[in-house]
Amino acid sequence: MQKTKKLPVRLFIYFKERFPVHIYAPFVTFLYLCMSFSIQALQGTDIVFDKYSIIGLISSLLFMLLMRTFDELKDFELDKEIFPNRPAPRGDVLKSDLHLIAITTLSILILINVIFAQNTLLVFAIVLIYAVLTFKWFFAEKFHLEHLFFTMFTHQPLPYLINFYLLHTALASGAVYENFTITHFAFLLMYSVPITIWETSRKIRNKEKEDGYQTFSKILGSSGATFIPLIAVYITSALSFYAGFLLDLPTSYFILSIAIFIYANIFYLRFIFKPTEKNNNLETTGTVYSALVFMNLLGHLLFNMYY
């Protein structure tokens, strides 16, 4: 019988394998600054980094950790069959550890927002309630597990709502809390649709690799399912062009945007026409595409600020 490791060791294993902070923290910082700076630049005011920026940045990382632990807890039994080598299924991390991480993360999130971000508290509360409802499967777990597209319909709004809250922290930065407009909604979609790209891309497999895990390719076929993230790529690229025009970014931004768009099309279309294991790097493609879109945007924003 395997001897249970001490709590600090179990937590170290979990964060090392399932939530490496040294990777996620810089990534989240980069994405949040891109959102915050672009929203503030859109307003035509000086770009600031104040307490709302700090709370938004910390909250974005904590929300990511909370969603990860929620998913681990929801799939605790399933992961024993599908992903037996993960820390929890193999016994190196206990279910009680996941509860501890989730409760601690949730408590910190609530505390910092109640104390330091009263202006965005209502939006934060709505998002948090929705997050808890997704964790509880909206009290209809069996139905959700049997209907993947319905689950996508109820769960996919969550990252959009989290970004809606984070966008509000950007609007609250500075002297005036700006109103949310239809233009901000376009920016919200630009920052959120890539999550759909990643979420759907990782649940597409070629026929030979299908198993007990629920995937979109099981329902629509490998090629058919790939059109979901591909369409999301088209939407993201169109919105990034729109953002570039609104922010008056230079020609180089649009040239790079076209190159990034072509890159994603090559790999998604390749899998559509030939859905083999060798061609299935859709998750990596979606991740790299999204990162390049926002690197391009933030780089040109910073260039405009200082030159």
Measure the CA–CA gap between 207 and 260, rounded to whole angstroms: 28
Q: Please tell me what DSSP assigns to residue 47.
A: P
Check pLDDT > 60 for residue 2: no
**Is there a single domain that holds both residue 172 and residue 211?**
no
Measure the CA–CA gap between 9 and 22, rounded to whole angstroms: 18
CA 194 vs. chain centroid, Å, equals 8
Provide the domain count of the chain: 2
**Is there a single domain that holds both residue 166 and residue 28?**
yes
Q: Please tell me what DSSP assigns to residue 281.
A: -
Residue with tokens 């992903």: 83
The runs of H, that is alpha helices, within the chain are 7-17, 21-43, 51-74, 76-82, 95-116, 121-135, 141-146, 148-155, 157-172, 182-201, 216-220, 222-246, 251-273, 282-306
Question: How do residues 152-171 score in pLDDT, each as one tens digit?
Answer: 788 888 999 999 999 999 99
**Is there a single domain that holds both residue 144 and residue 12?**
yes
Residue with tokens 């139905």: 143
Q: Is residue 35 part of a domain?
A: yes
**Is there a single domain that holds both residue 203 and residue 108?**
no
Structural domain span for residue 69: 1-178
CATH number where 72 lies? 1.10.357.140
Q: Is residue 172 part of a domain?
A: yes
Average pLDDT value for residue range 182-198: 94
Q: Is residue 22 part of a domain?
A: yes
Q: Which residues contact 143 (CB under 8 A, 6 or more apart)?
A: 150
Average pLDDT value for residue range 261-290: 94
CATH number where 251 lies? 1.20.120
Measure the CA–CA gap between 239 and 220, rounded to whole angstroms: 27
Measure the CA–CA gap between 81 and 3, rounded to whole angstroms: 22
Question: How do residues 51-78 score in pLDDT, each as one tens digit?
Answer: 999 999 999 999 999 999 998 998 888 7
Across 18-27, 40-49, 221-230, 258-267, least confident range? 40-49
Q: Is residue 307 part of a domain?
A: no
**Is there a single domain that holds both residue 206 and residue 295?**
yes
Question: How do residues 76-112 score in pLDDT, each as one tens digit?
Answer: 887 888 888 999 998 899 999 999 999 999 999 999 9
**Is there a single domain that holds both residue 84 and residue 223?**
no
Measure the CA–CA gap between 1 and 17, rounded to whole angstroms: 23
**Is there a single domain that holds both residue 47 and residue 65?**
yes
Question: How do residues 14-25 score in pLDDT, each as one tens digit?
Answer: 999 999 999 889
Q: What's the pTM?
A: 0.89
